[in-house]
Amino acid sequence: MKKKFVTNLALLIFLNLLIKPFWVFGIDRTVQNVVGEQQYGLYFALFNFSLILNILLDLGITNYNNRNIAQNNQLLSKHLSNIVVLKFLLGIFYFIVSITLAFIWGYDLEQMKLLLVLVFNQFLLSFILYLRSNLSGLHFFKTDSLISVLDRSLMIIICSILLWGNVTKTPFKIEWFIYAQTASYITTAIVTFFIVLSKAEYIKLKFNRKFLVTILKQSFPFALLVLLMSLYTRIDAVLLERLLPDGERQAGIYAQAFRILDAASMFSLLFAGLLLPMFAKMIKQKQSVNQLTQLAYSLIIIPSIIVSISSFFYRNEIMNLLYHTHVNISSNVFGVLMFAYIFISTSYIFGTLLTANGSLKELNILAGIGVAINLTLNFILIPKYFALGSAIANLTTQSFIAIAQIIISKKIFSFKINYKLISTLIIFTAGIFVFGLITKDLPYNWILSFSIMIVLSVIFAFGIKLLNIKNIYQIVKYGD
């Protein structure tokens, strides 16, 4: 299983490195610079509003289905026939609730128009993720990897034409950005549906009330978990836009800093997508998950620490390179937010392990506490520190969740405390801080100094044997 994890992770990372950095920094960033932080800030707040309610589209079905198909491949046709119908019913429910809450929340007519399209986009994305859960559950990881970058690839093509193709005399509008997403999601949904259909023995779309009620009952803990996680990870921008007089501007500033954290988190999410079906199958077969957990955590935590600390030291330079306005403010927000990446990456390993184990009660209690911490801190800090207050709330919440998940995982799986790994990580972290202090004083262009810091950090990881190429090579060549 370790060999399958490493080889498929390498493919996933390769594909995502080809596509997603250009999407984030070439397209998404350019759109914000072109339309301005106020327009983009409104879009970012509306997007997060639609994303928080996204759980109504899924109710935990995707995670439940991923785990269940991984353990019971023969159920694909039966589940597909019923769940596709359920997804469309949930889409109608999500639309009604979203629009109702948007009216109550006070969005005006223009904002509602944008929200309507974003709501439809969320339905398409949820449907794609459900279809992909069947592929990963069946362990068709290579096919799933290709699908995972299809939507972004199409968006890059469409937005590139609109931004730089000189096909229109009208300045780029935020609406075009949203419509490009719609077209890309529709195409990806159709392609993915037919791929999954080819893996099933049959499909007979039907409304089986008894079956659907059973599915919803079993997936409800997953739904509650996703809702709570969405709240403590995405409510920040919504609160900024609603609580402050210049809320759209502050949400835009927060979006500038959050973009890189979100992009980095996409790569950590790749680990979770691979690990969930693997952990689920191993747990069902009563295999030890200790070695796979340690391998995955070692592979994810090292780049996370390097990215977080190097981003902190070069926060001003990075923000100045990417954006045209509010650089000084967003750089401080960025510096705080990037430390949260270490804890987010940790959660993607241990949270996934607990999900695969079915420890939903513990995860939901933790997530509920996380929401309480996040909301409390946001309401206290936003009026005083604006976007920086939300960054502090995010970091505090993510650190609590990650540490608590490690403690619970240790108890459930009887993990032994690896004092050698802990002490080595502490030495590694301290070493990177030293590299940051040294390279900041070098008489070179900051990009060269930044690159030197990254290279030194990677060499240091090999030097203290946090990374061991020989071990990884043996895993890939000979398997477990």
Report pLDDT digits (tens) over 259-315.
899 888 888 887 887 788 888 888 988 898 988 898 889 889 999 999 999 999 999
In a domain, 429, yes or no: no
In a domain, 288, yes or no: yes
In a domain, 466, yes or no: no
Q: How high is the pLDDT of residue 70?
A: 76
Q: What are the two backbone dihedrals, phi and then psi, of residue 325, each rounded to the nearest 5 degrees?
A: -135, 155
Confidence of residue 444 (pLDDT cuts 50, 70, 90): very high
The pair of three-digit structure tokens given for residue 341, joined into one six-digit string: 């990446």
Give the Cα separation of 97 and 203 in Å (integer): 30
Read off the pLDDT of each residue in 182-190 and give the average, rounded to a whole number. Answer: 96
Confidence of residue 3 (pLDDT cuts 50, 70, 90): low
Exposure string over 235-264, b if 16+ CB within 10 A, otherwise e: bbbbbbbebbeebbbbbbbbbbbbbbbbbb
Read off the pLDDT of each residue in 17-28 and give the average, rounded to a whole number. Answer: 84
In a domain, 87, yes or no: yes
If residue 283 lies in a helix (H) or strand (E), which one and from where to where?
Answer: helix 247-284
Lowest mean pLDDT among 75-89, 255-269, 372-386: 75-89
Cβ-defined contacts of 428-432 (< 8 Å, 24+): 428/302, 428/305, 428/460, 428/461, 428/464, 428/466, 429/305, 429/309, 431/457, 431/460, 431/464, 432/305, 432/306, 432/309, 432/310, 432/457, 432/460
Number of compact structural domains in the chain = 1
Mean pLDDT of the chain: 88
Confidence of residue 7 (pLDDT cuts 50, 70, 90): low
Give the Cα separation of 188 and 409 in Å (integer): 36
Q: What tens digit of pLDDT does each residue of 225-245 get? A: 888 888 898 889 889 988 999
In a domain, 458, yes or no: no
Q: Look-up: residue for tokens 């680990």?
A: 271
CA distances from 38 to 26, 235, 251, 279, 390 (A): 19, 18, 8, 43, 18
Comparing 64 with 36, the larger pLDDT belongs to: 36
Q: Look-up: residue for tokens 């990963």?
A: 136
HSE on the CB side for 263, CA within 13 Å? 23
Q: What tens digit of pLDDT does each residue of 346-370 get? A: 999 999 999 989 899 999 999 999 9
Read off the pLDDT of each residue in 170-188 and give the average, rounded to a whole number. Answer: 93
Q: Look-up: residue for tokens 């929200």?
A: 115
Report the candidate in 236, 163, 208, 198 with the shortest Cα–Cα distance to residue 76.
Answer: 198
> Alpha helix locations (H) across 289-416?
290-313, 315-322, 327-357, 360-385, 387-413
Q: How high is the pLDDT of residue 478?
A: 42
Report the candidate in 319, 218, 255 with the shortest Cα–Cα distance to residue 42.
Answer: 255
CA distances from 259 to 173, 318, 338 (A): 19, 12, 10
In a domain, 421, yes or no: no
pLDDT at 74 > cutoff 80: no
Confidence of residue 124 (pLDDT cuts 50, 70, 90): very high
pLDDT at 472 > cutoff 70: no
Q: How high is the pLDDT of residue 383?
A: 95
- Residue 107, classed as helix, strand or coil, is coil
In a domain, 423, yes or no: no
Question: What are the residues whose beta carbons fall under 8 Å from the beta carbon of 370, sequence distance 6 or more?
Answer: 228, 229, 232, 397, 400, 401
Q: Which domain holds residue 55?
A: 2-416
> Rg of the chain over CA atoms, in angstroms?
22
The pair of three-digit structure tokens given for residue 10, joined into one six-digit string: 């390498």
Cβ-defined contacts of 79-82 (< 8 Å, 24+): 79/134, 79/215, 80/134, 80/196, 80/197, 80/200, 80/203, 81/202, 81/203, 81/204, 81/205, 81/206, 82/206, 82/207, 82/208, 82/211, 82/212, 82/215
pLDDT at 32 > cutoff 50: yes
In a domain, 393, yes or no: yes
Give the Cα separation of 1 and 4 in Å (integer): 5
Q: Is 286 left (phi over 0), alpha (psi -120 to 50) or beta?
A: left
Q: How high is the pLDDT of residue 479?
A: 46
Confidence of residue 213 (pLDDT cuts 50, 70, 90): confident
CA distances from 161 to 27, 33, 120, 166 (A): 11, 17, 23, 7
